[in-house]
Structure 1
Amino acid sequence: MKIRSLAAVAVAGIALAACAPGTASKTKSADDQTGTLKVWLYDEANRAPKEKVVGAAVADFKAAHPKVNIEVGYIPTDAGPRAEKMKGAFNDPNSAPDVVEFGNTDLFGYVQAGGLADISGDLANWSEAGDLPKDLKDTTLVDGKVYGLPWWLGLRSLYYRTDVFTELGLKPPTSYAELVDAAKKVRQAKPDMLGIAVGGKYTFGGLPFLWANGGEIATQQGGKYAAAIDSPQSQAGVKAYTDLFAKDICPPQQCADLTGGKTVEAFAAGTAGMAILPNSSRSAVEAGTAKGKYAVVPLPGTAPGSIAPAFSGGNDLGVMKSSQHRSLAVDFMKILGGKKYQLQMFDAMGNLPTLASARGDVVAKDPWLKPFIDTLNAGTKFVPKDAAWAKIDSQSVVPTMFQKVITGKSDVSGATGEAKTVIDNAFAGK
């Protein structure tokens, strides 16, 4: 789950590179029990806490495998450089890792390229497999086979200004109608604030409204995806989101070009009464003027008391198909992806665990996370599990659809119809 801030052309080049990392070498995997196990993980702005946790996991692994060395490398989080790194690994097994961390939407392109090993049997025999919720397991499936172990999650909920809501006598919204009403009242009472910061370029901020109305980006039939973005339910969701871009809520001239990152900045700076932000935005909000003046609730759905489905973002761990240390790679993946180190990664980095029991532990430790867990437990959604998603994403199909409605260049029917054509072309390889 990444927040986009690059120009459309740059994004297109980057995402297409991620979609086509090259075709994996035909070198077959092996199962050597000695030598050096290579691990590639995402780099971080502040890597030291992550390195400390990974170092402890390495020590645990080496205690059980004293004849094996582990070489941990850190790869760029930026999509372009990371795609080039992975392309090289897929094309040259000698330079490839055995275990790799990757974004969960990258999985389908990597599988199509032949770079990831099928770990279905390995996870089926894992003692902690039953602790993974089904919807998370489903994000790692391609043609019924598992290619990743969900390692951490990123979910979005509704941040709101407690001081403003108290001053205006408002309660946190529990339905879409209440969300609209609260946003209008905030904007009316405080014209210098956005009722809710929403962005025309904020794909994963807008999709929950689509899903809450029963819509889908695409549906799968006979093993193939077809666009469903123009269904009546999807159109209702697009209308619900784009209706928020109104003069008395979030004026189009201010909000049509906002990205997810810009909505974080608006809320943190105190210029929005509400915003749809991920759990990872907490530090940014705490560093702004909104510190100590906000709380979080699940983003409400259409019916009172309902929760809008959130995008299930996050990263996975996987084993490269070319690995010459397959069993060792699986063993290390299970250690690092197990509850013990998911909890340590939460303490070190704030990464939300994927294992249900671990999430229960972190909420008991930090009740602030409860709205995100409630959102997760209510059921999350995912993008089409097809390598074509990278092309759809790179072409900014969803945000372009939103923006055409927001700016009045098209109505909902026209914009969703155009999006359907582009999406179907992507699935057809055009």
Structure 2
Amino acid sequence: MKLRLAVAAVLAVGLSACAPSTSSPSSLPSDGGARSGTLKVWLFDEPNRAPKEAVVKDAVAEFTASHPDTKVEVAYIAVDTRSERFKGAFNDPASAPDVVEYGNTDLPEYAAAGGLADLGPTVSRWAEGADLGAEAKASATYQGTLLGVPWFLGVRALYYRTDIFQELGLKPPASIAELTSTARTIRQKKPDMFGVAVGGKYTYAAMPFVWDAGGDITSLDSAQSRAGLTAYTNLIAPDNCPPQQCADLTGGKTVDLFAGGKAGMGILGNFNRAAVDAGAAKGKYAVVPLPGSKPGSIAPAFAGGNNLGIMRNSQRPALAGDFLTLLAGKKYQTRMYEAMGNLPTLKSASTEVAAKDPFLKPFVATIAAGTKFVPLDPGWGKVDASAVLPTMIEKVATGRATVDQATAEAAKQIDAALGK
């Protein structure tokens, strides 16, 4: 979660409302339901909620001004307990919200539970819905049904220390081979630093290497996946990031290392900018897309992010559709970027913020080059909860298993979880 989000196509996730029908209620949010009364909204809580809450408050004020006799109740729910909250809402329609925010990796679980409404008719009737690209739809679609509107995206790229690169006469790497050699040079010349901070438990740094090689999460025991994993785990080595220090690194810890001035490079997200700026690396870094194996190419990144959806049990589906499209539209996506740094999914909004902020360009380029996602299967939750992927990477990094052994074990576990 915490993305979302070919991406002029993926960045092109949008919606804008035209008046829904007021016919009798059905499972489609564009059809019927009461057009007044109280609309219940669940959004994710944040460590610093105030900026997000201020934007949402303005959206609510705008919405209620144009919808007489309507009230919007917004509840901010804890991310860590969201699954239990959603399960309870699916089973108790009377207490369920109307509009919800959820992580895009939550989609299979919630879709399998039948808790989300089909947004296809709604999106097709809205002007900004025409900007919703195929990849964006895919990340919010389950078994052919669109169950969410991507609200924001998060992708990772390669942060590097401009002062270190200048001192050592280095250039930003344009291929995985150059990334590897550059990392080793930094480690050799600056033994108190890691060349590139990489972790055995940092799944979303490792997967671009696998995807770039032609592999995938559902075929980890293929030659392509093994080649990609080998390229990544070769970086967890004494000449870059020693296993005894890096084998158990998570994504969060690698952010801390780069931000703290302990690494020459790091694979970090657009959403990690504030953390880096709060550390020793502030003012001493730049960002380029994570390169692929072919010189000049961009490795596919995981498209994380959050969606907005409507509960299938909503008693006010048309009203919910009106509010969802307002909050997910260009105006409030732009406001959310300004408040929280969330990368907009609407092409018009992303183009606008990128023009104002050059920092976003490598992330926009990464999305445009094509992104990847986890399997849209309810069994994915079991894979994620069992830490199949980080365990696989860590075993290789520590020498407890060869690449072939670790990938064979992981592939077997994934096949079982996905019912293959």
Match among 34, 55, 58 for residue 56 of structure 1: 58
Paired amino acid for 1:38: K
Identity of aligned residues (%): 60
Which residue does the alignment assign to 2:350?
A: 359
- Of 160-169 and 39-48, more deviation after overlay is shown by 39-48
Equivalent residue in structure 2 for 1:301, among 292, 295, 298: 292
Correspondent of 1:40 among 29, 39, 42: 42
Corresponding residue for 1:83? Answer: 83
The question of whether the paired residues in 2 share the 8 Å contact of 1:133 and 1:355 is answered with: no
3-state DSSP class of the match of 1:244?
Answer: coil
Deviations 1:335-370 (A, max 9, x none): 100111100111111110001111100011111110
2:420 counterpart of 1:418: no
Deviation, 1:63, is 2.4
- Distance in 2 (CA, whole Å) between partners of 1:416 and 1:188 is 31
Query: Does structure 1 conserve the Cα–Cα contact (< 8 Å) formed by 2:197 and 2:241?
Result: yes
- How big is the shift at 1:60? 2.0
Which residue is 1:248 aligned to? Answer: 239
Which of residues 381, 388, 404 in structure 2 aligns to 1:390?
Answer: 381
Q: Within 1, Cα distance between the matches of 2:224 and 2:126?
A: 39
Match of 1:318 in 2: 309
For the pair 1:263 / 2:254, whether they are aligned, the reply is yes
Mapped pair 1:135 → 2:135 = yes
Number of the residue aligned with 1:122? 122
User: Which of 331, 352, 364 lines up with 1:373 in the alignment?
Assistant: 364
Deviates more, 1:299-308 or 1:132-141: 132-141
In the other structure, the counterpart of 1:19 is: none
2:281 maps to which residue? Answer: 290
How far off is 1:136 after superposition? 1.2
Moved over 4 A (4+): 27-30
CA displacement at 1:134 relative to structure 2? 1.9
Preserved CA contact (<8 Å) 2:36 2:68: no
Are residue 157 (structure 1) and residue 188 (structure 2) matched?
no
Displacement of 1:64? 2.2
Q: Which residue is equivalent to 1:67?
A: 69
1:91 is displaced (CA, Å) by 1.4
Determine the C-alpha separation between the residues in 1 that align with 2:51 and 2:273: 18
Aligned residue pair count: 395
**So what's the TM-score if we normalise by structure 2?**
0.92
- Inter-partner Cα distance in structure 2 for 1:102 and 1:149: 10
In the TM superposition, what is the alpha-carbon distance from 1:28 to its structure 2 partner? 7.2
2:281 partner amino acid: A
Which segment is superposed worse, 420-429 or 167-176? 420-429
Aligned AA for 1:128?
E
CA–CA distance in 2 between the matches of 1:307 and 1:343? Answer: 26
SS at the partner of 1:106? helix
SS across alignment from 2:380? helix
CA drift at 1:51: 1.4
1:48 CA displacement: 1.5
Letter in 2 for 1:382: F
How big is the shift at 1:206? 0.6
The answer on whether the counterparts of 1:208 and 1:309 sit within 8 Å (CA) in structure 2 is yes
For 1:6, the equivalent position in structure 2 comes to none
Greater mean alpha carbon deviation, residues 185-194 or residues 41-50: 41-50
Indicate if the aligned counterparts of 2:2 and 2:306 stay in contact, CA closer than 8 A: no
Aligned-pair CA distance for 1:2: 4.9
Residues 28 and 322, structure 1, Cα contact 8 Å, conserved in 2: no
Tell me, yes or no, if the aligned pair for 2:200 and 2:248 is still in contact at 8 Å. Answer: yes
Secondary structure of 1:276 counterpart: strand
1:195 equivalent to 2:186? Answer no
SS at match of 1:105: helix
Rounded Cα–Cα distance in structure 2 between residues aligned with 1:386 and 1:181: 38
SS of aligned partner of 2:263 = coil
- Opposite residue 47 of structure 1, the aligned amino acid is R
- What is the rounded CA distance, in whole Å, between the counterparts of 1:248 and 1:175 in structure 2? 19
Residue 96 of structure 1: CA displacement? Answer: 1.0
Give the alignment of 1:338-353 within 5 angstroms: 338-353=329-344
Cα gap change, 1:55/1:149 in structure 2, threshold over 3 Å: closer, same or farther? Answer: same
RMSD over aligned Cα atoms: 1.4
Rounded to whole Å, the distance in 1 between the matches of 2:54 and 2:236 is 44
Q: Distance in 2 between matches of 1:61 and 1:297?
A: 39
TM-aligned CA deviation for residue 92 of structure 1:
1.1
Q: Which amino acid aligns with 2:35?
A: Q
Q: Any idea what SS the aligned residue of 2:177 has? A: helix
In structure 2, C-alpha distance between the alignment counterparts of 1:55 and 1:246, rounded to whole Å: 49
Letter in 2 for 1:168: L
How far off is 1:411 after superposition? 1.0
Which piece of structure 1 moves more, 307-316 or 53-62?
A: 53-62
**Contact 1:133/1:356, CA 8 A, preserved across alignment:** no
For residues 34 and 369 of structure 1, what CA distance do their matches in structure 2 show?
40
Question: Residues 261-302 of structure 1: CA distance to partner in whole angstroms, max 9, x if unpaired?
Answer: 000000011000101001111111111111111110000000
Structure 1 residue 203: Cα displacement: 0.8
SS, match of residue 196 in structure 2: coil
Separation in structure 1 between the aligned mates of residue 160 and residue 413 of structure 2, nearest angstrom: 36
